[in-house]
Amino acid sequence: MWEQLRDGGGRNGRQVLVYKCLNSTNTTALNLAAEGAPSGTVVAADSQSAGRGRLGRKWQSPPGLGLYFSIIVRPRLGLSDLTKITLTAGLALRTAIFATSALKTRLKWPNDILWQGKKMAGILTECGAESAKGRPVIVGIGLNVNSGPDDFPAEIGQRGVSMRMAANLFYDRGRILAAVIEAVEREVKRLEKGEFTAILRDWRRWDASAGKRLTWLKPGGMPVCGISLGPDEDGVLRIKDAAGLIHQVISGDLRLRDEETRP
């Protein structure tokens, strides 16, 4: 099954390294980037033993079911642009999912891809150390492709979904990998050309929370309830609370109201 992955993406001169099992493709990509791996290098694994998500969470990565991969990019951008890269990658992932399956997913700030309110994919963007080649950024993507309802861990349960569950079809992971890599490359080029405003306009079309009530679990603070105004020109999410105060969200977790009531 994992041979499928080897056929995906390794075109246009880019290097796609495919492993049977890694701790985390992000860790391997960070190490390769530190050794000077060029922008566009992709590290994929059929399974991960310590796949990680945002906010220190685990990303369960069993073999044969999902896509787990990391793309090394060396964008000519600053550290403060990390959220922009995550939003850009999310838009690319959404585009590739639609192109390969016609599934209409939505984007939840900053890094989730949702299908009918359930999580289909997540992105973990991490930064490497500055070197003569600049500062590498690792875009790590986990996409639930062929998992069934029983393949999700108990803590995710009903809140997870795969492409197979959404479309009632099994997918060729190599083909989807190639489509996502190409879409991410294309969108990151747009970002580097200074087109974040246009990217953001596209992103907002698929925003799962704009105009909806949500709760922001603010790190080290009281939860904030309000209406999402969507991300601003820097990619920072704005929430308007009941008193009309606008909060700027740069980290922490967000719960859409309908997520709070789902088991």
Residues contacting ligand BTN: total by CB under 6 A: 21
In the complex, the smallest distance separating the C-beta of residue 124 from ligand BTN, rounded to whole angstroms, is 4
Give me 198's structure tokens. 């246009």
Please calculate the CA angle 200-203-204 and round it to the nearest 5 degrees: 90
Nearest distance in Å: CB 203, ligand BTN: 17
Which of 9, 25, 37, 203: binder of ligand BTN (CB under 6 A)? 25
Report the C-alpha gap between 232 and 15 in whole angstroms. Answer: 35
User: How many Cβ atoms sit within 10 Å of the Cβ of residue 213?
Assistant: 15
Closest CA to 24 of 63, 1, 53, 51: 51
* Site membership for ligand BTN, residue 152 (CB under 6 A): no
Instruction: Indicate the residue among 112 and 207 with the shorter CB distance to ligand BTN.
Output: 112
Any alpha helices (H) in 13-116, and if so which ranges?
A: 25-34, 82-101
Indicate whether 159 belongs to the interface with ligand BTN (CB under 6 A): no
Position 115 contacts ligand BTN (CB under 6 A): no
68 touching ligand BTN, by CB under 6 A: yes
What angle (nearest 5°) sits at the alpha carbon of residue 203, between those of residues 200 and 207? Answer: 125
The reply to whether 128 sits near ligand BTN by the rule CB under 6 A is no
The single residue among 10, 17, 24, 187 that binds ligand BTN, judged by CB under 6 A, is 24
Query: Residue 107 gets which letter from DSSP?
Result: E
Helix (H, G, I), strand (E, B) or coil at 25: helix
Q: Which is nearer to ligand BTN, 19 or 195 (CB)?
A: 19
Q: CB of 47: closest distance to ligand BTN in angstroms?
A: 10
Q: Which residues contact 190 (CB under 8 A, 6 or more apart)?
A: 88, 198, 199
CB of 123 vs ligand BTN, minimal distance in Å: 6
Among the residue ranges 96-104, 136-144, 168-176, 214-222, the one whose residues contact ligand BTN (CB under 6 A): 136-144
Interactions with ligand BTN, residue window 43-62 (CB under 6 A): 48, 51-54, 57, 59
- How far apart CA 218 and CA 195 sit, in angstroms, is 30
Provide the binding-site residues for ligand BTN, judged by CB under 6 A.
24-26, 48, 51-54, 57, 59, 68-70, 111-112, 122-124, 140-142
